Structure formats: C-alpha cells, structure tokens
Amino acid sequence: MKKRLLLAAFLLTFLFVRADNVQTIDWNQKSTDPKAPRSLVVLPEGKYDPTNNVLWLKLASYESYTLEITDCNGYIVFQSLVVTDGTNQSYILPQLEEGIYNISLAGSSRNYVGYFTV
C-alpha cells in the first residue's frame, strides 16, 4: 500500500512539473463580426513549450491567418502564414528571452490576440 501511495505521489508530482512547462495561451478576439454574437465565437487553442520552443495552434475554422509574435518592445520575433484546417499545428520558434510575448492571428474574417510568458 505504501508503495502505491509513493508511486501515486511521484506521478502526480511529475505531471504537475511537466504541466508547468507548457503554457496555455490566453486569447481575445480583436474585432467582432457584427453578424455573430460574441458567445458564438470559438477562440483558438494555443500552447507554448518554453523547453523545446514549440508553439501549438488549433483553430476550428478553415482559413488562412498571418501569425505574428512580438516581444514587449514591439519587435517581431516570429512571423508565418498559417492555413488552418481544424487540426493541431506546431511551429518551432527561435530561442526566446524571458519576458511577455504578444501573439496575433490575423485572418480575413477574424483577428485574435493573445499573450504568453517565458
């Protein structure tokens, strides 16, 4: 019984430590479509892994977006064209210094902004 408790404690600790490395990106919709109520807007899903410099994005819509990541001084540190299809997509980012980074997805019908920290 003691071994099981120790194993469970170890696994929970490992999961919490592992979860701390991957950050969820907080999103806001920058401009709203007057035809769609705000409650119907589905925000993108985004996660950032600072250990491996990997960004994961998932958008429910099928559209092209411009992805832009800027540092706290407004300098662009990463820019890419994103064609979404409802699946997870990953992007390897350059080595980022500690700080707050803004992320924006600009599409023809919707724009989203978010942030994450390193």
From CA 114, how far away is CA 103, in angstroms rounded? 5
Domains and CATH numbers, the chain: 22-117 (2.60.40.3080)
Residue 54 scores a pLDDT above 70: yes
pLDDT digits (tens, 9 = 90+) for 33-49: 555 555 556 788 899 99
pLDDT digits (tens, 9 = 90+) for 75-86: 999 999 988 887
